[in-house]
Structure 1
Amino acid sequence: MSRADEAARRETLRVQVRLDALVAAIGQDGDGRPRPEPERRLVLDAARSALDRLADPGLPAAPPGAADATLLPETIIANTYAVRERIGRGGLAEIYRVRHRDLRGDHAAKILRPDRALDPVLARLHVSEARALMGLSHPAIPRARDLLRHGDGRAVIVMDLLRGETLAETLRTHGPLPPDGVAALARRLAGALAAVHAAGLVHGDVSPENVMLCGGAEGATLIDFGVVRRAGEALPDVEFAGKWSVAAPEQLAGRPGGPPADLYALGLLLAAASRGERVGLGRDRESALAARASLPDPRIDGRLGKVVRDLLRQDPGARPDAEAVMQRLSGTRLSRLAARLTAPRGAYPHPETEG
């Protein structure tokens, strides 16, 4: 046996001895007694996490978690996802960046805050959000990948990881969007709402905080389906869900609000994007009712301005639906006119095909 072969044999034996010791440590405590199953799983997860890092030297080190984060870096969820860092926190839930331990891909994981997790209404809404996202497919809606359970029983929604900032953050730091950006935002979000409404659902909280700009207005994504509901139905055990500042007049009158309520909120959002500031329309029912008496100028001209003003009509039946908003802003009629002007003689579209 050559010296190289002998060295390889010795190294293999050393690795085998260490692995045997690791297996023994996972199954038994320091006194040689079998570990309880929950403890054994924790030790196994820690060992696997260390092996994951050895197998992938390029894996970035986990950043320190926020002081008040409820899931620490390297926490394992359902033996599948390793927590990397917290990337968002709201009044009800937290968002973490997690990494699939086998596939190495990064995702976002949404979990209720511990102080909210015992509320049965919120727990039910959290699961309803996962069901809604799994039934929707649109480029401007994040895809839900799975619904898992953390060790403490909290449901975890695993979805696509979005990179960017919210519209609210953009308006605070950079001011209003340019007119073409507002138009792109309108088309993109109208498309998302069309998909939501076609599924018989209402988003219920269309606001600048719930729109992510992933690469600009063209990549706008509607997020936070935490109060999603069936169209025309109120959420059980919830008097009002969403934000008073974006509530439609019919919601302020005590009705659940269907798809037109989402379109009213879209009109307010587009006005905010054009003005560079939130359109302040109240923090409770009384102040919101008073604010609806005289809406501020959205500061949008042309065809888009007309669409926004139609979205903000008091009568929900007078507002265009999401499909109509897309059609009115898509330039379809202009493109057909250009086709007619450039088409060879005898090739005009049949009148019944024109919108």
Structure 2
Amino acid sequence: MTTLEDAIRLVNEAGTDEELFGSADPHRGYLRLAALLHPDRAEPDAKAAATDAFVMLTNRWRARGTVAFGRYRVGAVAHTGDLANLHTVGRGLFLKQPRRPANNDLMEREATALRRIAEVGDPRYLPYVPRLVDTFRHRDPRNGQERRVNVLGSVPHLLSVAEVIRIRPDGLDPRDAAWIWRRLLVALGLAHRAGVVHGAVLPEHILIETTDHGVVLVDWCYSVVDGLDHVPATVPAYADWYPPEIHNRQPPGPGTDIAMAARSMIALMGGYAPAALVAFADGCSLPSVRSRPDDAWALLAELDDLLERLYGARKFRPLNL
């Protein structure tokens, strides 16, 4: 390719970045095309076409490696979840798309649950769950597959309880786990009063902010609203963490989430969990959902009483991992 006409034709017809910039040395390919297309070097009768192609070229180069999802442009995958990939699209904003179109219904569940919580939940506690910024269907131009996409807002740079367990395999000091458990019950209390059961309160879905002691409960794709359905799927790696009603495809209740939260917190504390907190968790995990506590706010008060008996008045403890 040595002529301006060839360069304009390539920019207008190239369907992929590899076709446009080449695969061996894309930067060199871009510079070669930019030199050919620069408007200052074009003859007067070709200046308009060269300018249009030059602008298109530079925009393609700046967006190289990104994919358009509606009005959002995303690059590499920032996080891989159970069934979806998350891309950063701004500070504290994440675009979430299912890897398989068959999971579009789970993405719709998440949007429905977060919309309900935002509409009727207590505004003071909304930061304990992601914020639904946008939801739409996106058709992949490469294969025509359509996916439900959710754009979520949350605090950036969070750490999952699963990651903490990997960092501290022997367990976390119960005085540190205490604030995570307390805030997790706040997130559940917020959701349950809005008529939403999370359905998958697992270590991977409990995110914490270690400096300011924040907790965000994520991945509402398995949620049930108003008890009208069963939890639609489980995370295979945690198959034995689910209470019986989920495996039996029965409607879950607040006690479903409370039991899974208790299991996650005992796993977090590991060998450091005192007998009193283990017994408290056992009371949250009885086989029948009807026998378990079903009010996260009342349970939080009971937990506070127990923690005060064990460790005295609450005080801030920096969590250094």
1:139 alignment counterpart:
127
Q: State whether residues 187 and 325 of structure 1, in contact with CA within 8 Å, keep that contact through their aligned partners in structure 2.
A: no
Separation in structure 2 between the aligned mates of residue 89 and residue 219 of structure 1, nearest angstrom: 22
Unaligned stretches of 5+ in structure 2? 1-38, 119-125, 141-145, 309-321
Separation in structure 2 between the aligned mates of residue 191 and residue 264 of structure 1, nearest angstrom: 15
Separation in structure 2 between the aligned mates of residue 91 and residue 208 of structure 1, nearest angstrom: 12
1:15-26 equivalences in 2 (<5 Å): 20-21=48-49, 24-25=52-53
Separation in structure 2 between the aligned mates of residue 301 and residue 235 of structure 1, nearest angstrom: 33
Q: Which has the larger radius of gyration?
A: 1
* Cα deviation, residue 234, structure 1: 2.7
* Cα deviation, residue 316, structure 1: 2.4
Separation in structure 1 between the aligned mates of residue 274 and residue 212 of structure 2, nearest angstrom: 16
Aligned CA distance change for structure 1 residues 98 and 233 (closer, same or farther; 3 Å) = same
Separation in structure 1 between the aligned mates of residue 307 and residue 270 of structure 2, nearest angstrom: 28
Q: State whether residues 75 and 82 of structure 1, in contact with CA within 8 Å, keep that contact through their aligned partners in structure 2.
A: yes
Aligned CA distance change for structure 1 residues 81 and 19 (closer, same or farther; 3 Å) = farther
1:282 alignment counterpart:
none
1:353 alignment counterpart:
none
Aligned match for 2:289, one of 316, 327, 337: 316
Separation in structure 1 between the aligned mates of residue 203 and residue 306 of structure 2, nearest angstrom: 28
Separation in structure 1 between the aligned mates of residue 279 and residue 213 of structure 2, nearest angstrom: 21
Separation in structure 1 between the aligned mates of residue 115 and residue 58 of structure 2, nearest angstrom: 33
**1:169 counterpart letter in structure 2:** E
SS for the counterpart of 2:273 is coil
Aligned CA distance change for structure 1 residues 205 and 215 (closer, same or farther; 3 Å) = same
Aligned match for 1:124, one of 86, 96, 105: 105
**2:65 counterpart letter in structure 1:** P
* Cα deviation, residue 182, structure 1: 1.5
Aligned CA distance change for structure 1 residues 181 and 249 (closer, same or farther; 3 Å) = same
Q: State whether residues 85 and 96 of structure 1, in contact with CA within 8 Å, keep that contact through their aligned partners in structure 2.
A: yes
Using the size of structure 2 for normalisation, the TM-score is 0.67
2:193 alignment counterpart:
198
Aligned match for 1:150, one of 130, 138, 163: 138
Provide Cα deviations, 1:163-200, integer angstroms capped at 9, x if missing partner: 12211121112232211221111111111111111111
Aligned match for 2:68, one of 68, 76, 99: 76
Provide Cα deviations, 1:259-303, integer angstroms capped at 9, x if missing partner: 111111111111101117xxxxxxxxxxxxxxxxxxxxx93344x
**1:165 counterpart letter in structure 2:** L
**2:213 counterpart letter in structure 1:** E
**1:82 counterpart letter in structure 2:** R
Aligned match for 2:84, one of 93, 112, 118: 93
1:272 and 2:267 matched: yes
1:25-40 equivalences in 2 (<5 Å): 25=53
Aligned CA distance change for structure 1 residues 202 and 264 (closer, same or farther; 3 Å) = same
Separation in structure 2 between the aligned mates of residue 19 and residue 194 of structure 1, nearest angstrom: 64
Q: State whether residues 224 and 252 of structure 2, in contact with CA within 8 Å, keep that contact through their aligned partners in structure 1.
A: no
Aligned match for 2:161, one of 162, 167, 176: 167
Separation in structure 2 between the aligned mates of residue 210 and residue 82 of structure 1, nearest angstrom: 25
- Larger relative contact order (Cα-Cα within 8 Å, sequence gap ≥ 6): 2
* Cα deviation, residue 244, structure 1: 2.6
The answer to which of 151-160 and 306-315 deviates more is 306-315
1:329 and 2:303 matched: yes
SS for the counterpart of 1:163 is coil
Provide Cα deviations, 1:197-251, integer angstroms capped at 9, x if missing partner: 1111111111111111222692221111111112433349x5x545432221333
* Cα deviation, residue 322, structure 1: 0.8
Number of residues of Structure 1 aligned to a counterpart in Structure 2: 251
2:253 alignment counterpart:
258
**1:192 counterpart letter in structure 2:** A
Aligned CA distance change for structure 1 residues 165 and 142 (closer, same or farther; 3 Å) = same
Using the size of structure 1 for normalisation, the TM-score is 0.61
Separation in structure 1 between the aligned mates of residue 50 and residue 114 of structure 2, nearest angstrom: 41
